[in-house]
Amino acid sequence: MGSYQVAARNFSTAHENKMHTDEVAQKHGFKGALVPGVAIYGHLTHPLVQRFGATWLNCSVGAVRLFKPAYHGDQLTITLQEEDAKFVVRCHNQDDTLLAELTSTMPEEPPELATPASFDNAPKDPQRVEIAWDSVVVDQPFNPWQWQVTSDGNRVMAEQIADELPLYADYAHPHWLQSIANQALSREYIMPAWLHVGSEMRFRKALLVGDTVTVRAVTLEKWQNKGHEFIKIYVAFERDHDVTTEIVHTAIFKVA
């Protein structure tokens, strides 16, 4: 169904997450600084938005899995296929290694992704602490905050992943929404080195430039596997008390 190519870019070298620096990433066995997973997700959305436009941004369900890291300068090939009534977008690098996959559908009424605990009882003016097994509390809501979708911010997000689709003059870029899910974690915790490994998304109504959004989050799960420590959070985006977007975001917060 078509493909396009784009160069991967690490725009997060100054980020608190030091996996985006050569020194720390190499200590964890990678060959260099990692390109943000939210950027790879942004690339994966390109062919879907190119084909379906605002329809996909207004009503779709998706799940992205990040298998292998991308490095600055990698030449990425993004392909879109229809398989078993689902749209599957895959990202390969110049060595034909599968880095990530996004599966999406556009049902008339997308199902709920999760049933989170209440957002009530969020701590007032919480102090950020370094993330650790004991500091991650399941069902503990995060402190909510407000975010405005600005024209300048949206343009920066599109430029970071070289996405020139014209509808992003009006619509919030999905790359930015995933970045806000990352921000939910980093506002709650000090996170020196961590990995975004996957997300589920439900787009109910598109967010637009100029919107003011309340972001709420709560921890759903934590678990250990092969020495890694994982966290899964639910993030809801509310416009005028109406939930427009839901993301279930999974990360390794302690890398083995």
Q: What is the 3-state secondary structure (H, E, C) of 26-87?
A: HHCCCCCCECCHHHHHHHHHHHHHHHHCHHHHHCEEEEEEECCCCECCCEEEEEEEEECCEE
What is the mean pLDDT for each group of 10 consecutive residues in the chain (256 residues)? 87 78 89 92 96 95 96 96 94 98 89 68 75 93 94 95 96 96 93 93 95 95 95 95 93 92
**C-alpha closest to that of 251 among 43, 99, 104, 38:** 38
Quick check: 160 and 175 in contact, CB under 8 A? yes
Residue 85 lies in domain: 3-254
Q: Which amino acid is at 209?
A: V
Residues 6+ apart with CB under 8 A from 177: 201, 207, 237, 245, 247
Which pLDDT belongs to residue 124? 63
Which pLDDT belongs to residue 152? 97
Kindly state the tokens that stand for 234: 């639910």
Centre a 10 Å sphere on the Cβ of residue 204 and count the other Cβ atoms it contains. 16
Indicate the SS3 state at residue 217: strand
Which pLDDT belongs to residue 114? 62
Residues 6+ apart with CB under 8 A from 238: 213, 214, 215, 216, 244
CATH of the domain at 7: 3.10.129.10
Q: Which amino acid is at 152?
A: D
Quick check: 155 and 167 in contact, CB under 8 A? no
Which pLDDT belongs to residue 14? 67
Quick check: 41 and 8 in contact, CB under 8 A? no
* Angstrom distance (rounded) from CA 52 to CA 60: 11
Beta bridge partners, 5, equal 77
Q: Give me the number of domains the chain comprises.
A: 1
**C-alpha closest to that of 182 among 52, 73, 42:** 42
* Angstrom distance (rounded) from CA 150 to CA 122: 27
Kindly state the tokens that stand for 251: 């990360």
* Angstrom distance (rounded) from CA 79 to CA 83: 12
